[in-house]
Amino acid sequence: MLLVTACALIHLRDLVALVMLAGIFSLVAAGLFIVMDAADVAFTEAAVGAGVSTLLMLKALTLTGAKQASAVSRPYQALFTIVLLGGLLIYGTHDLAPYGSPDGPSQQHVAPHYLENSIKETGVPNVVTAILATYRGFDTLGELFVIFTAGLGVMALLDGSGKRLGRTQALMSEHVVLRVVAKMLLPLILIYAFYVQFHGEYGPGGGFQAGVIFAAGLILYVILFGPGAGRKVLSDKTTRTLAAIGVLLFSGVGLVSMFSGAPFLDYSVLAEDAVTGQLAGILLVELGVGITVAAVVFRIFLEFDDREPLQKEGEP
């Protein structure tokens, strides 16, 4: 199924269909992750890949046009490189342990330690959240910096080029049914985002998914009621500040640990009891992640929305 979608993706020239197929690819991959019992990963893949990513790419297509330009030259060197590297990769996979075998190297060193000791050391039932936020917290800080840099990049690149529309009216203001249903659903969507954020320690969830869901709710509001109304909720200055505050929160927790004598991002010293310290640290860093992701995704949509679209609305 994934293979068929990927092959179709290569052959299409219509970019809107391509974006939809990419969303379907993400959704099928999320289903595959569920079959493999990886609920957190499936949740993130569905929310980001099949949700917000499709939305942002479609918004970008309104700015660039929806047909892919045909290739002018035959890329034989690239084909040769890809075949060579792909062949090497496939040859390398012969060395891996069989799928699901309990004595493969990935199940040997740290994985049993995490699975056995994470609830004793961190007090958090969801092992994935514990690994993301504590055991591998430095990597998560790096991911957060990547998202923050993406937001900065969009803000910097789109600020100078072209004319800002400064539009406040909504694109879809005549969709009465959609407005009514959205007004009913928006509080629920935002509450669900908070639920996913703070319940991420007990079930699937966490900062990334919550941030994406929160931003999706806000983007729905902007689509239906206009960027003016959206900017009244969170102005440009506020989103810029919030994106920075999330990263500051995460790094700040690490710095506080450092000033208390422990290594960077060791949460045990944040409270008298090590487990309480870990709980507090995990809560704070996930909050930081959620804040930055929501602010960056919302701001990227608003920036795309502010540009001159390639074809005017209402024309076929």
Partner 1 sequence: MIETIATLLASVLLVLGSLLCLIGAVGFFRFPDFYTRVHASSVTDTLGAGMILVALMLLSDSTIGTFKLVLILLFLLITGPTAVHALVKSAVTMGVLPGIETEEIVVRSDGNSSSKPS
Residues near partner 1 (CB under 8 A): 172, 174-175, 177-178, 181, 184-185, 314-316
Residue 13's closest CA among 62, 74, 71? 71
Single-letter amino acid, residue 274: A
The residue among 21 and 296 lying less far from partner 1, judged by its C-beta, is 21
Q: Classify the C-alpha dihedral 278-281-287-289 as positive or negative.
A: negative
Residue with tokens 């075998």: 101
Measured CA to CA, the distance from residue 5 to residue 98 in angstroms comes to 26
Query: Any idea of the CA torsion for 103, 105, 107, 110, to the nearest 10 degrees?
Result: 140
State the nearest-atom distance from the C-beta of 314 to partner 1, in Å. Answer: 7
Nearest to 18 by CA among 75, 73, 68: 68
The 3-state DSSP class for residue 67 equals strand
Tell me the two tokens of residue 163: 């004319």
Minimum separation from the CB atom of position 180 to partner 1 (A): 9
Which CB, 166 or 314, lies closer to partner 1? 314
Shortest Cβ 184–partner 1 spacing (Å): 7
The token pair at 220 is 């729905």
Tokens of 143: 């991911």
Residue 183 or residue 232: which is nearer to partner 1 going by CB?
Answer: 183
Q: How far is the CB of 173 from partner 1 (least distance, A)?
A: 11
Q: How far is the CB of 33 from partner 1 (least distance, A)?
A: 19
CA dist 207 → 210, 264, 274, 286 (Å): 5, 20, 22, 5
Residue (181 or 233) nearer to partner 1, CB: 181
Residue 175 Cβ vs partner 1, minimum distance, rounded to whole Å: 6
Tell me whether residue 7 or residue 177 sits nearer to partner 1 (CB atom). Answer: 177
Between 204 and 288, name the residue whose CB sits nearer to partner 1: 204
Two structure tokens written together for 159: 């600020």
Q: Identify the CA nearest to 296 among candidates 307, 285, 286, 304.
A: 304
Cβ distance to partner 1 smaller for residue 2 or 178:
178
What minimum distance in Å lies between the beta carbon of 16 and partner 1? Answer: 13
Nearer to partner 1, 261 or 314 (CB): 314
Please state the closest distance from residue 1 (CB atom) to partner 1, in A. 14
Instruction: Tell me how many helices (H) and strands (E) the chain has.
Output: 13, 0
Give dist(CA 287, CA 266) in Å, integer.
17
CA angle 290, 153, 51 (to 5 degrees): 45
